[in-house]
């Protein structure tokens, strides 16, 4: 794999020299922050965001706050990371800004991060609250449901069977079965087992269930 970070940074500098519109800089910044984070160049990522905000007067969006949180976390500054993630959940979307809005940065993603940070501090109740907020933001999301099952659902006593069995017959419903299963898994009552009977489907129902 060829590392193209340096090439991208040079392209970034070249772009700035052309006196581009704020929109072009913003789009480039979205890609650059991701690239720098993948390269674990956290300090440069943080400086890139802050410099761009100051120079181009970009609004401090949830996207920027979330990525500043990732950079701070990468540098080991958990208090700053928590502050940025929390700020991301508090910033309302400004429909007049003209800047690109990316889904999840104002609710689902920072809530999951705040869940993890609270759990690391042994603040279990606070952690569960943030995980629940993530679930409300994106009910179809997988991470918050895994967290709920793994960390916030009391284990059953030894030898105790689930109190509810949910049986779902399925036949050639590849377009709908995922939504149906997700709906069942998202119920607040968790002491259950889900039994799906595939009646020899000839479409991709079985593959979707797998």
194 CB neighbour count, 10 Å cutoff: 13
Which residue blocks in 18-105 are alpha helix, DSSP H? 22-38, 42-56, 62-74, 78-90
Closest CA to 168 of 145, 149, 194, 139: 194
Do residues 67 and 49 lie in contact, with contact meaning Cβ atoms separated by under 8 Å? yes
What SS3 class is residue 167?
strand
Number of other CB atoms surrounding residue 147 within 10 Å? 22
Lowest mean pLDDT among 2-6, 45-49, 173-177, 199-203: 2-6
Tokens at residue 141, please?
């999301």
Which residues neighbour 48 within 8 Å (Cβ) at sequence distance 6 or greater?
A: 29, 32, 33, 36
Q: Which residue has the higher pLDDT, 64 or 18?
A: 64
Contact predicate 58/76, CB 8 Å: no
Nearest by Cα to 87 from 71, 100, 68: 68
* pLDDT higher than threshold 80 for residue 85: yes
β-strand 192-198 against 164-170: which pairing, if any?
Answer: parallel
Residues in the chain: 210
Q: What are the backbone angles phi and psi of residue 165, rounded to the nearest 5°?
A: -110, 120
pLDDT tens digits, one per residue of 2-60: 566 677 777 766 776 777 777 777 777 777 888 888 889 999 899 888 887 787 777 77
- Taking residues 151-158, report their average pLDDT: 77
């Amino acid at each position: 794999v060829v590392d193209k970070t340096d090439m991208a940074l040079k392209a970034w500098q070249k772009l700035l020299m052309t006196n581009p519109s704020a929109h072009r800089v913003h789009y480039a910044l979205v890609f650059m922050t991701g690239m720098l984070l993948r390269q674990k160049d956290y300090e440069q990522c943080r400086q890139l965001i802050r410099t761009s905000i100051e120079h181009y007067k970009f609004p401090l969006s949830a996207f920027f706050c979330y990525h500043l949180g990732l950079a701070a976390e990468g540098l080991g500054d958990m208090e700053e990371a928590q502050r940025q993630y929390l700020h991301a959940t508090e910033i309302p979307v400004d429909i007049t800004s003209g800047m690109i809005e990316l889904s999840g940065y104002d609710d689902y993603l920072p809530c999951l991060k705040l869940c993890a940070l609270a759990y690391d501090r042994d603040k279990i109740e606070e952690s569960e609250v943030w995980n629940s907020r993530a679930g409300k933001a994106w009910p179809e999301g997988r991470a918050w449901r895994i967290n709920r099952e793994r960390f916030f659902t009391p284990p059953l006593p030894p030898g105790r069977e689930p109190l509810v069995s949910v049986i779902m017959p399925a036949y050639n419903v590849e377009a709908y079965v995922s939504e149906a299963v997700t709906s069942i898994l998202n119920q607040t009552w968790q002491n259950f087992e889900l039994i799906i009977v595939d009646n020899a489907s000839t479409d991709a129902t079985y593959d979707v269930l797998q």
